[in-house]
């Protein structure tokens, strides 16, 4: 089965697979995603203000929405338990990836919606809770390109801004990953494209809500529970083992449907062209006859007979 989506150009793209969930009152979504339990305590943290990130299975809660929670705890220093889910599939290779979520109003956490294969092949959509009131969404492709002053270049990252807080309602976060570019959307509107360091290897989809106290990023941790509510996720994609869709190999590219659909109209185009030529020829002949009228055949025959008679008379004369 094939699926199509409308891209930033207003045309259609074809994909071989789809994963869709808009109900989380049962565990069916777990057929596609695992709840992460990893932590980075072995490698964290040189900065005393930054704490390790721990993920807890108890912080992914099934209800009408999928709730991803950050819970603070107190020890020698404040740490927090975060939440993260990762696709079981690791063969996503290009696609249109969407998720509808409502951000927390309180500060101290960060939200991420990613494609990930490695730190050098990654697509990020991120929200910092302390920026959500301004409607800010951070988009990037890893690795980040830096300019001569070691600042992040707009070639590989951008901040897009909606005209409303992201905690006010559910917002659809979306990125369309193609072979030569990634298009980013928010709330159903196309905002920006990045076309450098485009991932070319298949990988996974990751969604997380976390904090580590980093004052330059998530800040926090929050003093009380912080919840993100996910209303749905809808993933259209090709996989690394995709073979064909409508007879076309989609394993390494997406095809603009308009470039293929015209072929089924080819017989109609040919017949229509022939009919047009016949009608045009008939009109031309008719016009020519009106401009160059021919004498009736009876007059021609009479002229021939008179010519023969005149010839016979002339031959009889001495």
Domain end: 255, 280, 302, which one?
A: 255
Beta bridge pairs of residue 13: 5, 256
Q: What is the pLDDT of residue 302?
A: 62
* 188 plus 61 within the same structural domain: yes
| Segment 209-217 mean pLDDT | 86
- Write the pLDDT tens digit of every residue in 15-52: 999 999 999 999 999 999 999 997 766 556 666 556 66
In this predicted structure, the answer to whether residue 260 has a pLDDT above a threshold of 60 is no
| Token pair recorded at residue 188 | 């159903």
Domain end: 203, 228, 255, which one?
A: 255
Higher pLDDT, 281 or 97: 97
* 242 plus 290 within the same structural domain: no
Highest mean pLDDT among 51-55, 114-118, 146-150, 279-283: 114-118
In a domain, 242, yes or no: yes
In a domain, 217, yes or no: yes
CA distance 137 to 19: 24
Q: How many domains does the chain have?
A: 2
In a domain, 22, yes or no: yes
What is the domain-level CATH number for residue 43? 2.60.120.200
Q: Judge if pTM exceeds 0.85.
A: no
* 236 plus 291 within the same structural domain: no
Q: What is the pLDDT of residue 150?
A: 82
Residue with tokens 């992460």: 36
User: b vs e for 235-257, b when ≥16 Cβ sit within 10 Å of the residue's Cβ?
Assistant: bbbbbeebeebeeeebbeebeeb
* 191 plus 60 within the same structural domain: yes
Name the strand (E) or helix (H) holding 304: helix 297-316
Beta bridge pairs of residue 202: none
Cα Rg of the chain (Å, integer)? 35
* 304 plus 191 within the same structural domain: no
The answer to whether 252 and 89 have CB atoms below 8 angstroms apart is no
* 138 plus 199 within the same structural domain: yes
* 238 plus 304 within the same structural domain: no
In a domain, 157, yes or no: yes
Q: Can you give the residue range of the structural domain that contains 286?
A: 265-316
In this predicted structure, the answer to whether residue 201 has a pLDDT above a threshold of 60 is yes
* 143 plus 191 within the same structural domain: yes
The answer to whether 278 and 57 have CB atoms below 8 angstroms apart is no
Domain end: 209, 228, 255, which one?
A: 255
Could you tell me the sign of the dihedral formed by the alpha carbons of 204, 97, 29, 109, in that order? positive
| Token pair recorded at residue 37 | 């339990």
* Peptide bond between residue 159 and the one before it cis (omega within 30 degrees of 0): no
In a domain, 154, yes or no: yes
In this predicted structure, the answer to whether residue 83 has a pLDDT above a threshold of 80 is yes
* Peptide bond between residue 221 and the one before it cis (omega within 30 degrees of 0): yes
Could you tell me the sign of the dihedral formed by the alpha carbons of 269, 270, 275, 279, in that order? positive
- Write the pLDDT tens digit of every residue in 125-178: 999 999 999 999 999 999 989 888 788 888 999 999 999 999 999 999 999 999
């Amino acid at each position: 089965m094939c699926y199509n989506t409308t891209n930033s150009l207003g045309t259609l793209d074809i994909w071989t697979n789809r994963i869709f969930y808009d109900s989380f009152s049962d565990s069916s979504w777990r057929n596609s995603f695992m709840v992460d339990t990893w932590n980075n305590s072995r490698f964290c943290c040189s900065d005393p203000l930054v704490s390790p990130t721990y993920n807890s299975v108890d912080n992914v809660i099934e209800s009408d929405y999928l709730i991803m929670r950050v819970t603070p705890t107190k020890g020698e220093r404040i740490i927090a338990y975060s939440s993260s889910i990762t696709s079981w599939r690791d063969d996503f290779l290009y696609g249109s990836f969407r998720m509808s979520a409502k951000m927390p109003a309180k500060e101290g956490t960060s939200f991420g919606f990613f494609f990930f294969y490695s730190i050098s092949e990654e697509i990020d959509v991120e929200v910092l809770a302390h920026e959500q009131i301004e409607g800010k969404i951070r988009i990037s492709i890893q690795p980040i390109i830096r300019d001569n002053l070691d600042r992040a270049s707009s070639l590989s990252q951008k901040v897009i801004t909606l005209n409303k807080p992201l905690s006010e309602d559910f917002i659809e976060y979306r990125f369309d990953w193609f072979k030569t570019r990634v298009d980013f959307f928010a709330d159903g509107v196309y905002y920006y494209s990045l076309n450098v360091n485009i991932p070319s290897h298949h990988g996974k989809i990751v969604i997380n809500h976390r904090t580590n106290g980093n004052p330059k990023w998530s800040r926090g941790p929050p003093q009380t529970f912080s919840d993100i509510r996910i209303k749905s996720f809808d993933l259209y994609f090709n996989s690394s083992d995709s073979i064909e869709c409508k007879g076309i190999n989609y394993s390494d590219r997406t095809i603009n449907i308009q470039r293929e659909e015209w072929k089924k109209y080819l017989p109609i185009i040919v017949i229509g062209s022939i009919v047009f030529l016949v009608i045009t020829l008939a009109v031309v002949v008719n016009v020519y006859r009106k401009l160059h009228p021919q004498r009736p055949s009876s007059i021609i025959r009479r002229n021939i007979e008179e010519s023969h008679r005149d010839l016979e008379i002339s031959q009889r004369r001495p």
